[in-house]
Structure 1
Amino acid sequence: MTRSVYVTGIDRGDGRQVVELGVMELLTRQIDRVGVFRPLVHEGPDRLFELLRARYRLSQDAATVYGMDYREASALQAEQGTDELVSTLVDRFHLVARDYDVVLVLGTDFAGTQLPDELALNARLANEFGASVIPVVGGRGQTAQDVRAETRNAYRAYDGLGCDVLAMIVNRVAREDRDEIAERLDARLPVPVHVLPDEPALSAPTVAQIAHALEARVVLGDDAGLARDALGFVFGGAMLPTFLKALTPGCLVVTPGDRADLVVGTLAAHSAGTPPIAGVLLTLDEVPNADILALADRLAPGTPLLSVPGNSFPTAEQLFSLEGKLNAATPRKAETALGLFERHVDTADLLKRVSAPSSDRLTPMMFEHQLLEQARSDRRRVVLPEGTEGRVLHAAEVLLRRGVCDLTLLGPVDQIRKNAADIGIDLGDAQLIDPATSDLRDAFAERYAQLRAHKGVTVELAYDVVSDVNYFGTLMVEEGLADGMVSGSVHSTAATIRPAFEIIKTRPGTRIVSSVFFMCLADKVLVYGDCAVNPDPDAEQLADIAVQSAATALRFGVEPRIAMLSYSTGTSGSGADVDKVRRATELVRQRRPDLRIEGPIQYDAAVEPTVAATKLPESEVAGQASVLIFPDLNTGNNTYKAVQRSAGAIAVGPVLQGLRKPVNDLSRGALVQDIVNTVAITAIQAQNSQEKATAQ
């Protein structure tokens, strides 16, 4: 069984970091303890490891990641031979391997290493480590025929040296050649071949990277602006009307610093979204006066304005030699890289070939990976009513780059575009709709009036109601124009879910709409319900919440073991509150004898095996409960917040359950990752809703 994966290449410039990041993402989906080992390293910071450590919250000591630096390796090889070099690196690898379930090995980079026959060294190290190999071949600037030949030769080289080749990955090929290369290689090689097209955004430097390389002074701009990718360069010299026609999306404008007209005109165009630019680089050490800078800051707040002392020609030489790099400071590039990897690599087959041991635990990171993968497997459209909100825009970019779902953003379209441009976000193929001016508004007004006629709602009144983004989004879901909705980052819970109660309503046979939180603890994920909707459910309602919550848990990979919580355990207590929980437990057992359930039970007996062994030693739920049902909203809401703050848990939710179609609420303090997770959950719920509708 493979315990380590060795990602290597045949030459420099293959963009292998995309593959290394993608494989790490793949491994951490099902394995808790993943280590990293780089046999040989250049002096200075290791950008990729810093990215992996930040993104995957690695606790591995950086000192254990590296075998030795290239200079030390070259000297050791020259003085004592290759065998001694390999032996030393093998010993250092095993120091890492003993502490992890699987190790990702990052091969040498073929860049100024001064090592003879570097390919053979990588092959030997992989064999000595007992690692399976994924060779990467770079195809940038090559013909399709040359790429195919080089890939076949690379396979023969590693296979001929005794390596267990899992798959071949060809990276950075011309988009127009990608399908032909993939088809022809699949027929010629005995292992899967995954072909990734060249992605300009990955090789584009960020504005921050440009500023660092050119030692530029940042005159204006914030961190979000500096994180933008410079997808091209436009050099200013023409008059403004002609110059504006030359602007391209994501370009960095390079102009002498005394051309205030070009600076103001460019930023005005950016503010209007026609087109959004990365920033402006001023040459000749000239900067517009304070009044112009103040105007520039108002026109496009956050957009970078840099200044360098040189003139345009040497500046251009430096710019064209720069290439973007994946690192911890470029999280958006990482999302782009992962989206590219997941679109063009059969990740399920590759993970199966890795044959790495699956973890018994479901960690928070595994849970988040699982959400994205499930949502991506059958893409749905989710509507986001808060389309002008910055956190929602950032989340939308992540979701689109990762291919998690299709999106519709609601709000004034020009404002959405401007806000996105101001923070350097590319909304790609997202659908943008302004409810106030949409052609759908009349039809939605008539539909809402029909649904609420019993409340005296007229078409005229409905016409005003449906201009509200939450009502408009809910009607999109009801009418099948979207599969689910997520709101609440700037709206109250009532404003988010009231339209769903009025328009979508509950599923047949469902007594109550309730909610759960997925509580992501350090080593497991628990499901808490109901902590957000129902103040004081009776026994019938509590039983319904338990059944719904078990179904939700199972849908998201948490095996349901239900604990009906109370202030007493078993038969030790009495009173109306305990009796309610006891009755609810009996109702669940009658309705769903297949579910494992215990109640009434105290929280400690539900989750702590040592307490359970004393209080309910014969229970198959006590001590290992995964779905915890609280007797009332007061208890549930306070408990989830206490656990979230005191235990450092990640709380994903509330996730509504019981509606015919999915609508979910966000906390007004939701972070970008919270929004991403909730949208993914909503997309998965939509998949489930469609399956049930088809079955009926």
Structure 2
Amino acid sequence: MRPPRGQPRRTTQDGSAGVTRSVYVTGVGRGDGRQVVELGVMELLTRQVDRVGIYRPLVHDTPDRIFELLRSRYRLTQDPATVFGMGYAEAAELQAEEGQGALTARLVEGYLRVAEEYETVLILGSDFADTNLPAELGVNARLANECNASVIAVIGGRDQSADAVVAEVRNALHAYTNLGCDVIGMVANRVAPDTAAAAAAQLRRTVPVPVYVLPDDPALAAPTVRQIAEALGAEVLLGDDAGLSRDALDFVIGGAMLPTFLSKLTPGCVVVTPGDRADLIIGSLAAHSAGTPPIAGVLLTLDERPGSDVLALATRLAPGTPVLAVPSGSFPTATELFRLDGKLGAGTPRKAERALGLFETHVDTAELTERLSVARSERVTPMMFEHALLERARADRRRIVLPEGTEERILRAAEVLLRRGVCDLTLLGEEGAVRKRAGDLGIDLDTSGLEIVDPQTSPLRDRFAARYADLRAHKGVSYELAYDVVADVSYFGTLMVQEGLADGMVSGAVHSTAATIRPAFEIIKTRPGAVIVSSVFFMCLADRVLVYGDCAVNPDPNAEQLADIAIQASATAARFGVEPRVAMLSYSTGTSGSGADVDKVRTATELVRGQRPDLLVEGPIQYDAAVSPVVAATKLPGSAVAGQATVLIFPDLNTGNNTYKAVQRSAGAVAVGPVLQGLRKPVNDLSRGALVQDIVNTVAITAIQAQGDA
């Protein structure tokens, strides 16, 4: 059978012919905020497919802002030279001289080059903005047809009534379907929040394809302080990267006396004031320092600069808060500011998280994924594994407590988790300190699913002290001593989990492993049937996920403990979608070696077989024989595990810890963990060098573990 028109043959990994599936995201006019949908669709595609290509047939300028965002976020290796068809001016000229057919043919050639290399292609339609391209909707429709691409059409609904939104959607659907397009879904974006529900209800009744209504989110349209500085050519007098990344949610023009001026400040505003108004500069920064309210920054006008003493005081009052300066007056500057629109791009990763959160909240992602009908790749990439974690956690939302509430990485991870709807969170710490730190980082904590608890002043402290004293009475712990102990954030968080006020805990960004897991040993204790508490890492290689244990907790487990680690690691692997084939690692394979260390592994292997005869397990076995089919064919021919092991159990902590770090660094693997196993309720430790994404992954894993405990 020949491929459909415009559709290339592609050779799959097994050598058979495959057909590239393409998705065309387009619109009907400018200002529809389509980038949110493009980002959301890319997210769905990368959950299913290893290699997704990008094609933008028509482009204003390169580098293209959205492609750079997608390339950065999804670690794309596609050559930018293959992404773009041609510029709008060239396209308009070609269409005028040779007709739309010639234009379409040229653009399809570019698509075919991408489609030859990728399993799926996301095509980004034209933007209807200053294009000078006649019949632009028709150009998009014809391109979608020639590329055999399914269409997702986006309609802008800002400042429109529910009836008007419905009419726009229906008109757009008729326009694309009448031109022969396969429309699999539509999105009404930037709809006023108070009309979104009514519009969605009408659309469900009257439109034959799924329509998703995204409410307008002012923060997505808000420029960052850095974008303001770039647009105005402002001089940055003060401010760090975090401050410049804050969203400017409002603008307050400073002209009144200080008491009146302070009452007009709003959260996330940029203060615009003449540079000689030291009272307003210091007053607004002092308000930010107190958190009443946190501002985005200060923009000084009239080419005036405060003195060095004022700037020094500003630095001490609100470290990192941007202070910019421009030569123009306040009102001309304000006029320019109100014209600015926030843009998604590689330089705004927090805005991208917010956009994805909006998309995932209001789009039935399971339904849309099914309609995309993309064949899932057999390979499991690190990104696909991470996506799966977030999806599973989101499906049955749990509450996780994070004791390190003022730590920057924890706050940034919390923002991602809450925006993406992964779980509810409890941050521990003095509320004013937590909010001030978040304000300095430009993070908005006024969101659903979050609570802040101060162990020092919480009414729970008395209850927890009594509970801990009871648990540790055999160790001579009195209520008075317990009252002091439970004020420690690690103990307080662990007791929240034990008492059912949180479903799990993640800590360790600034605390030691001992500080994180000691309270769990004392309070939560070992799960029935588990010999010890141990740990695993999920090692996400380029094409598969392996489970390593124990690389973080037990220095030198005996044979019985090693068997328990293997059995628990197998259960953990299965829970997270990794089929367990267990390799009990040693420095020799089969019967080729002897000695106490090998004998320990051999005994542990027999214990596993005795306790879990259903498990595939091999040992003693060397690492190369466990993972390499070529080596396995020589050393252990016929083994059901050798060469294809997925769960690798190390004989001691020294071997395991060094091996996971060596593989992580030399093979570029993503190491997710350590994930603790064997506790009655989930508590997980972080590396003190953990990145924000590491924390997000670990919290998602903890939430999934809690789902299994329900």
TM-score by length of 2: 0.96
What amino acid is aligned across from residue 665 of structure 2 in structure 1? R
C-alpha distance in structure 1 between counterparts of 2:617 and 2:96, whole Å: 67
1:686 match: secondary structure: helix
1:349 maps to which residue? 367
CA offset at residue 555 of structure 1? Answer: 1.4
1:251 counterpart residue number: 269
Query: What is residue 684 of structure 1 aligned with on the other side?
Result: 704
Query: Which consecutive residues of structure 1, in runs of 5 or more, have no partner in the other structure?
Result: 691-696
State the Cα distance separating 1:689 from its structure 2 match: 1.1
Aligned residue pair count: 690
2: CA distance, partners of 1:43 / 1:501: 58
Residue 437 of structure 2: which of 404, 419, 426 is its match?
Answer: 419
Q: What is the aligned partner in structure 1 of residue 99 from structure 2?
A: 81
Confirm or deny that 1:590 pairs with 2:584: no
What residue number does 1:605 align with?
625
Distance in 2, Cα, partners of 1:54 & 1:189: 36
Matches within 5 A, 1:447-462: 447-462=467-482
More deviation, 42-51/341-350:
42-51
- Quick one: which of 303, 306, 309 aligns to 2:321? 303
Alpha-carbon distance in 2 for matches of 1:364, 1:615: 30
Preserved contact between residue 400 and residue 427 of structure 1 (Cα < 8 Å) = no
- The residue number in structure 2 matching 1:570 is 590
- The letter for the 2-side match of 1:56 is Y
Offset of residue 398 of structure 1: 1.1
- 1-side partners of 2:226 and 2:512: how far apart? 37
Residues 188-230 of structure 1, C-alpha deviations (whole Å, 9 max, x = no match): 1111111100011100000000001111000000111000000
Counterpart-to-counterpart distance in 1, 2:526 and 2:379: 34
1:43 offset after TM fit, Å? 2.6
Aligned position for 2:493 = 473
User: Is structure 2 residue 455 aligned with structure 1 residue 432?
Assistant: no
2:535 maps to what in 1? 515
3-state SS of 1:619 partner: coil
Q: How does 1:172-251 map to 2 (within 5 A)?
A: 172-251=190-269
Percentage identity across aligned positions? 76
3-state SS of 2:184 partner: coil
Q: How does 1:25-174 map to 2 (within 5 A)?
A: 25-174=43-192
- For 2:667 and 2:111, locate their aligned partners in 1 and report how far apart those are by CA, in whole Å: 34
Other-structure match for 2:26: 8
Residues 459-518 of structure 1 show CA distances to partners (whole Å, capped at 9, x for unaligned) of 010000000000000000000111110111111100000000000011111111100011
Cα distance in 2, alignment partners of residues 400 and 338 from structure 1: 11
User: Per-residue CA shift, 1:444-473, capped at 9, x if unaligned?
Assistant: 000000101111111010000000000000
The Cα of 1:120 is off from its aligned counterpart by 1.2
- Determine the C-alpha separation between the residues in 1 that align with 2:523 and 2:239: 44
Residue 297 of structure 2 is aligned to residue 276 of structure 1: no
- For residues 298-355 of structure 1, give each alpha carbon's deviation from its aligned partner in whole angstroms, at most 9, with x where no partner exists: 1100000000111111101100100000000000100000000000001111111111
* Letter aligned with residue 90 of structure 1: V
In structure 2, the residue matched to 1:693 is: none
Say if 2:576 is the partner of 1:556. Answer: yes
In 1, Cα distance between equivalents of 2:459 and 2:692: 31
User: Counterpart amino acid of 2:150?
Assistant: S
Partner of 1:486: 506
Distance in 2 of aligned mates of 1:19 and 1:594: 46
Q: State the Cα deviation string for residues 405-447 of structure 1 (Å, max 9, x = none).
A: 1111111211111111111111233211111111110000000
Q: Runs (4+) of structure 1 moved beyond 6 Å?
A: none
Tell me the SS of whatever aligns to 2:48.
coil
Indicate conservation of the 8 Å contact 1:232/1:251, yes or no.
yes
- Contact preservation (8 Å) 2:274, 2:300: yes
Aligned positions of 1:289-300 closer than 5 A = 289-300=307-318
Q: Supply the distance in 1 between the matched residues of 2:125 and 2:354 (Cα, whole angstroms).
A: 22
SS at match of 1:29: helix
Give the match's secondary structure for 2:553. coil
**Please, which of 366, 374, 378 is the counterpart of residue 396 of structure 2?**
378
Is 1:403 aligned to residue 421 of structure 2?
yes
Amino acid across the alignment from 1:274: T
Q: Quote the Cα distance in structure 2 between the aligned partners of 1:280 and 1:555.
A: 50
Shift of 1:117: 1.1
Q: How far, CA to CA, are the matches of 2:677 and 2:23 in structure 1?
A: 41
> 1:581-640 CA distances to partner (integer Å, 9 max, x unpaired)?
122222222222222221111000111111111111201211111110001111111111
Inter-partner Cα distance in structure 1 for 2:545 and 2:446: 33
Alignment correspondent of 2:663:
643
- The code of the aligned residue for 2:156 comes to G
C-alpha deviations, 1:173-202, integer Å up to 9, x for none?
010111111111011111111110001110
Separation of aligned partners in 1, 2:59 and 2:481 = 68
Are the counterparts in 2 of residues 451 and 503 from structure 1 also a CA contact under 8 Å? yes
- Helix, strand or coil at the partner of 2:182: coil
1:265: how far off? 0.8
- Superposition pairs of residues 624-639 of structure 1, within 5 angstroms: 624-639=644-659
8 Å Cα contact 2:20/2:119 also seen in 1: no
Measured after TM superposition, the shift of residue 645 of structure 1 is 2.0
Structure 2 distance, partners of 1:525, 1:30, is 15
Give the drift of 1:2. 7.0
Task: Work out whether residues 2 and 130 of structure 1, in 8 Å CA contact, stay in contact via their aligned partners in 2.
Answer: no
**CA–CA separation in structure 2 for the residues paired with 1:313 and 1:642:** 58
Residue 367 of structure 1: which of 366, 370, 385 is its match?
Answer: 385
Once the two structures are superposed, residues 278-303 of structure 1 have per-residue CA deviations (whole angstroms, 9 ceiling, x without a partner) of 00001111111111100000110000
